């Protein structure tokens, strides 16, 4: 339990990288990249977790306490998610553009085209 | 209790990620990616991060799979 | 490089990464530790500025400069995607392809869901300093809500509701006002993006100073950017007679 959360974060990065490697389609490579990036969210939130800690949001009606999970890593994870979405959008747009000029989205065939 | 929930959520996320990567067709990948997004959302809720969970729900379960689906549609259209 | 050679290189790299990651994890505090030095600084700082949602306080007050950087990333990605997906002349003449028939109940449901989703999006943005949520989450909800009209099988009415130039301007001006609000803080002598507005009373709608203002500005920027982004992909996938980028940006 002590390291299980960190191990899962590492596994996500690794399996995502493997997906990029074995992809035969640039869309699959992009999706795999976003899986790899989700490993960083898990890592960040795992670092900030505290047993029995509450969420760092003191909604109206609740009393503030210092026994909360770390809000700083949560803010970073939030930024991470938004950046991941913008990267995915750009890569998908590039995929569409590559398909228009080279008529294929297979990375291996694209490499052959360059010679 | 929370320990059990966290272990279950983490295991589901690890399995879900593997499933997304090994889904053969990009069109189906958009669906598995969306399911993976929900699993991550669950994990973030369990880890007491509602802000991140909400963000993951709207971005990872709706926005990104939608863009993937539209890209797949565009490319399949041209290869027909 | 052959696939086999590539796999070998990957295996070596992955093994190296795994070993280094294991060392790093061994040196990290155990999962669920009660020692969080950043938390101990961030929570009092948020309470001092009467912000109930500490995560919002970190994003829009304590680390507001980073969020400005994030907005610039979003803006550049929207510009980049719009430039890449600019329709060619041949494509722009192609008539819109008709989707499959949509049942009346789906249309009705989508029409009913649209205002509800827009309200939820606005609610998430406006209460970002009190409850989970904020400009980023609410903005994405708003951008996606507009596209429910596609689900309703009304791509034409979607285009009418979506004069893209409005959203382009919304995105640009909101991102700019974020920076201007920062400069106001500098002009008042408190520093760039300092929390300068009256703090109000804790846990009420008017509290947390500039945090809700920056949240609303961010919500507008993300909603605008999200609509522009999705519109580019929809235009590619469905093929439209409207020129989304060329007409609106010139």
Which one of B54, B62, B74 has the shortest CB-CB distance to C237? B74
Which one of C14, C21, C204 has the shortest CB-CB distance to A17? C14
Contact residues on chain A for C81, CB-CB shorter than 8 A: 89-90, 93
Which one of C141, C147, C233 has the shortest CB-CB distance to B58? C141
Partner-chain contact B50 C132, CB within 8 Å: yes
Question: Cα angle at C96 between C94 and C98, to 5 degrees?
Answer: 135
A–C interface: beta-carbon pairs under 8 A: 145
Instruction: Report CA torsion sign: C159, C165, C168, C173.
Output: negative
Partner-chain contact C81 A48, CB within 8 Å: no
pLDDT for C145 beyond 90: no
Please give the average per-residue pLDDT across C93-99, as a whole number.
51
Range 8-37 of A in CB contact (< 8 A) with B: 8, 11-12, 15-16, 18-19, 25, 27-28, 30-32, 34-35
Report how far apart, in Å, the C-alpha atoms of C241 and of each of B60, C106, C144, C224, C226 are.
Answer: 30, 25, 22, 22, 21
Separation of alpha carbons C128 and A63, rounded Å: 18
User: What is the DSSP code string of C152-182?
Assistant: TT-HHHHHHS--HHHHHHHHHHHHHHHHHHH
Residue with tokens 């290189």: C9
Separation of alpha carbons A3 and C26, rounded Å: 8
* Closest residue in B to C127 (Cα–Cα): B51
Query: In chain A, what are the domains?
Result: 4-57+67-114 (1.10.287.3510)
Separation of alpha carbons C174 and C170, rounded Å: 6
Residue C81 touches chain B, beta carbons under 8 Å: no
Question: Which value does ipTM take for this structure?
Answer: 0.90
Confidence of residue C249 (pLDDT cuts 50, 70, 90): very low
* Closest residue in B to C226 (Cα–Cα): B63
Separation of alpha carbons A70 and C50, rounded Å: 18
pLDDT for B35 beyond 90: yes
Helix ranges (H only) for chain C are 3-26, 37-48, 54-57, 64-84, 89-93, 104-126, 135-146, 148-151, 155-160, 164-187, 210-238, 244-249
Q: What share of chain A is helix, strand, coil (3-state, %, to 5)?
A: 70, 5, 25
Please give the average per-residue pLDDT across C91-101, as a whole number.
53
Residue A87: which H helix or E strand, with range? helix A71-102
Residue A114 touches chain C, beta carbons under 8 Å: no
Least confident of A52-61, C54-63, C76-85: A52-61
**Pick among C15, C43, C73 to test the A interface (most A CBs inside 10 A):** C43
Most confident of B37-46, C112-121, C223-232: B37-46
**Pick among A11, A22, A27, A37 to test the B interface (most B CBs inside 10 A):** A27
Residue B20 touches chain A, beta carbons under 8 Å: yes
Residues A63-113: pLDDT tens digits?
777 788 999 999 999 999 999 999 999 999 999 988 888 888 888 788 777
Q: Write down the pLDDT at residue C175.
A: 86
Separation in Å, CA of B57 to nearest CA in chain C: 9
Instruction: Report the share of chain C in percent with pLDDT over 70.
Output: 83
**Tokens standing for C173?**
């001006």
Range 52-71 of B in CB contact (< 8 A) with C: 52-55, 58-59, 62-63, 66-67, 70-71
Buried b (16+ CB within 10 A) or exposed e, C3-21: eeeeeeebeeebeeeeeeb
pLDDT for B5 beyond 80: yes
Q: Write down the pLDDT at residue A41.
A: 94
Residue A97: which H helix or E strand, with range? helix A71-102
Please give the average per-residue pLDDT across C217-232, as a whole number.
89
pTM: 0.87
**Tokens standing for C22?**
């294991």
Q: Write down the pLDDT at residue C6.
A: 85
Mean pLDDT (chain C, rounded): 80
The tally of CA atoms less than 13 A away on the side-chain side of residue A18 is 19
CA nearest to C203, candidates C54, C63, C61, C58: C54
Partner-chain contact A47 C28, CB within 8 Å: yes
Residues C20-71: pLDDT tens digits?
999 998 888 888 888 888 888 888 888 888 888 899 899 888 888 889 999 8
Q: Running DSSP on this structure, what letter comes out for residue C58? A: I
Q: Write down the pLDDT at residue C156.
A: 64
Confidence of residue C250 (pLDDT cuts 50, 70, 90): very low
CB-based contact A45:B48 (threshold 8 Å): no
Of residues C150 and A29, which shows the higher confidence score? A29
Residue A77 touches chain C, beta carbons under 8 Å: no
Q: Write down the pLDDT at residue A90.
A: 94
Contact residues on chain B for A77, CB-CB shorter than 8 A: 44, 49, 52
Confidence of residue C178 (pLDDT cuts 50, 70, 90): confident
Least confident of A44-48, A102-106, C108-112, C114-118: C108-112
Please give the average per-residue pLDDT across C4-32, as a whole number.
89
Please give the average per-residue pLDDT across C156-165, as a whole number.
68
Residue A101 touches chain C, beta carbons under 8 Å: no
* Closest residue in C to B77 (Cα–Cα): C237
Please give the average per-residue pLDDT across C216-221, as a whole number.
91
């Amino acid at each position: 339990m002590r390291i299980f959360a960190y191990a899962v974060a590492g596994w996500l990065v690794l399996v995502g990288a493997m997906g990029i490697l074995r992809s035969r389609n640039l869309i699959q490579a992009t999706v795999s990249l976003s899986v790899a990036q989700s490993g960083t969210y898990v890592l960040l939130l795992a670092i900030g977790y505290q047993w029995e800690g509450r969420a760092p949001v003191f909604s109206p009606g609740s009393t503030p306490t210092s026994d909360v999970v770390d809000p700083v890593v949560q803010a970073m994870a939030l930024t991470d998610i938004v950046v991941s979405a913008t990267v995915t959008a750009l890569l998908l747009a590039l995929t569409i553009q590559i398909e228009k000029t080279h008529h294929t989205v297979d990375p291996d065939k694209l490499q052959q085209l360059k010679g | 209790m929370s320990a059990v929930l966290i272990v279950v959520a983490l295991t589901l996320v690890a399995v879900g990620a593997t499933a997304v990567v090994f889904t053969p067709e990009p069109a189906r990948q958009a669906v598995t990616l969306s399911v993976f997004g929900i699993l991550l959302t669950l994990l973030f809720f369990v880890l007491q991060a509602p802000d991140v969970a909400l963000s993951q729900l709207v971005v990872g379960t709706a926005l990104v799979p939608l863009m993937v689906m539209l890209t797949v549609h565009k490319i399949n259209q041209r290869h027909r | 490089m052959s696939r086999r050679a590539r796999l070998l290189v990957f295996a070596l790299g992955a093994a190296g990464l795994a070993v280094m990651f294991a060392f790093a994890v061994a040196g990290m505090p155990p999962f669920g530790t009660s020692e969080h030095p950043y938390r101990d600084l961030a929570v009092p700082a948020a309470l001092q500025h009467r912000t109930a949602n500490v995560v919002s306080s970190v994003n829009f007050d304590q680390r507001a400069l980073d969020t400005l950087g994030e907005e610039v990333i979003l803006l550049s990605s929207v510009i980049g995607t719009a430039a890449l997906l600019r329709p060619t002349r041949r494509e722009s003449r192609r008539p819109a392809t008709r989707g499959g028939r949509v049942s009346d109940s789906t249309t009705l449901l989508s029409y009913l869901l649209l205002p509800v989703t827009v309200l939820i999006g606005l609610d998430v943005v406006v209460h970002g300093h009190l409850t989970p949520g904020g400009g980023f989450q609410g903005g994405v909800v708003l951008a996606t809500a507009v596209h429910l009209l596609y689900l309703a099988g009304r791509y034409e009415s979607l285009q009418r509701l979506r004069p893209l130039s409005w959203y382009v301007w919304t995105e640009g001006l909101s991102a700019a006002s974020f920076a201007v609000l920062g400069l106001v803080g500098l002009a008042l002598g408190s520093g760039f993006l300092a929390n300068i507005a009256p703090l109000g009373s804790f846990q009420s709608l008017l509290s947390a100073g500039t945090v809700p203002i920056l949240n609303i500005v961010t919500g507008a920027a993300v909603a605008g950017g999200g609509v522009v982004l999705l519109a580019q992909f929809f235009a590619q996938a469905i093929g439209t007679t409207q020129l989304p980028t060329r007409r609106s940006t010139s």
